[in-house]
Chain A
Amino acid sequence: MTEIEPTSSRSPAPVGDRRIALVDLLDRVLAGGVVIVGDVRLSVADVDLVHISLRTLITSVSALNPLSDELDSP
């Protein structure tokens, strides 16, 4: 009873950017899903978990791709 068409239907990232798709995914797997306390007590600190990961993400991405404010550039 497959109600949803398998695979393929997941659309690619909008701005054609793999990073954004990753962000969408991390938004969900880190901030969503059922939280039950495993034996490894990481999920207890789920807020920290998300925080850690987003910090990692932001740091590494901004290192790759520093933002410039176009309005202020000559």
Chain B
Amino acid sequence: MGEQHVVWLYAVTRRLDFAQFPATTGVAQEPVRIVEAADLVAVVGSVGADEFGEDALRRNLEDLDWLEATARAHDAVVDLVTHFGPTVPLRLATVYRDDDSVRASLVAHRGEFDTALRRVTGRTEWGVKGYADPHSIAQHSIDERAGGVGEGTAYLLRRRAVLSAQQAAESKAAANAHEIHEALSRIAVVAKRQPVPHAQLLSKRAQIVLNGTYLVDNERADEFADAVRALDDQHPGIDLDLTGPWPPYSFAGVDQISPQRPQAEGRQG
């Protein structure tokens, strides 16, 4: 069995002038190459089945270091492909037995890929995260209110004031986040608000109130960035962070044509 290989898919594009494509390596440090069918080009690499076969993948995906290295390598290849033309990124861990299976899949999914490629042509994905700091906002208003009473009472008063000020700050932040998302959606072609399933990863002081991602026409990229800056200035309680350009990960799926699916953002009980 020793050297068994499977084929890892990075991205699908239309014509890729592979002669111009820089020699690059992928998730297994393997040379990246292409497989063509149905007027589509799949950017792939041959990777060891012992690391990227089904059982191995399940195991490895539980390993954060492996996952991080793999995600970064996958993204680096996808990102490179975007510089050569419209690109549909494949979800991490899309693996085929051999090149023939890849070709068969390109043929079978030709329609989907065409649709997705059309959607992302001339457009780029940008991420905007909004961080609110309800605690510090709340803290301001209560410091002076607790003078002149016993220590225990003062603590309780202070605590109650903190909580209610915090609630007010949170709902204000949520309203602001909504407003910001609406404004950015008007510039974007498609906009989505993503849930924040990993709120636990962030310190409670910087609560995420907006996790938006936007597909923007390249001609409007500057306008979009300016809008993010302006909205950041207009909302002192919220820090906006612009990330990108991303390959169009969030807008490549065929199920994703409908704009804004508002979500309850990052509120834990």
Q: Which residue of A lies closest to B211 (CB)?
A: A27
A14 contacts B93, CB within 8 Å?
no
User: What 0/1 readout, one digit per residue, does chain B (77-99) give for beta carbons within 8 Å of chain A?
Assistant: 00000111100111111111100
Is B1 close to A, CB under 8 A?
no
Is B204 close to A, CB under 8 A?
yes
Q: A36: which of B105, B135, B197 is its contact (CB, 8 Å)?
A: B105
Interface residues of A in 20-72 (CB under 8 A from B): 20-43, 46, 49, 52-54, 56-58, 60-62, 67, 69-71
**Main SS class of interface, A:** helix
CB-CB under 8 A from A43, the residues of chain B are: 91, 93-94
A11 contacts B89, CB within 8 Å?
no
CB-CB under 8 A from B211, the residues of chain A are: 27
User: What 0/1 readout, one digit per residue, does chain B (105-148) give for beta carbons within 8 Å of chain A?
Assistant: 10001001100100000101001010100010000000000000
B67 contacts A56, CB within 8 Å?
yes
CB-CB under 8 A from A26, the residues of chain B are: 67, 71
B198 contacts A25, CB within 8 Å?
no
A39 contacts B6, CB within 8 Å?
yes
CB-CB under 8 A from A46, the residues of chain B are: 91
Q: B244: which of A11, A35, A41 is its contact (CB, 8 Å)?
A: A11
> Which of the 9-residue segments B57-65, B169-177, B180-188 touches chain A?
B57-65
Q: How far is the CA of A22 from the CA of B162 in the complex (A)?
A: 33
CB-CB under 8 A from A27, the residues of chain B are: 194, 198, 211
B64 contacts A56, CB within 8 Å?
yes
Q: How far is the CA of A22 from the CA of B52 in the complex (A)?
A: 21
Minimum C-beta distance from A26 to chain B (A): 6
B201 contacts A38, CB within 8 Å?
no
CB-CB under 8 A from A62, the residues of chain B are: 200-201
Q: Which residue of B lies closest to A74 (CB)?
A: B155
Q: B253: which of A20, A35, A57 is its contact (CB, 8 Å)?
A: A35
A30 contacts B92, CB within 8 Å?
yes
B243 contacts A11, CB within 8 Å?
yes
Is B30 close to A, CB under 8 A?
no
Is B190 close to A, CB under 8 A?
no
Q: How far is the CA of A53 from the CA of B63 in the complex (A)?
A: 8
A39 contacts B95, CB within 8 Å?
yes
Is B223 close to A, CB under 8 A?
no
If A32-B250, A34-B91, A71-B135 are given as contacts, then 12 extra A-B residue pairs at C-beta distance below 8 Å, sorted by A number, are A4-B83, A11-B243, A15-B206, A24-B127, A24-B129, A28-B247, A29-B89, A32-B89, A39-B6, A49-B61, A57-B201, A67-B200
Can you report 8 residue pairs joining A to B where beta carbons are below 8 Å apart?
A15-B131, A23-B201, A28-B75, A28-B247, A33-B91, A58-B200, A60-B64, A71-B135
Closest 5 CB pairs of A and B: A32-B249, A14-B241, A33-B91, A28-B249, A40-B95
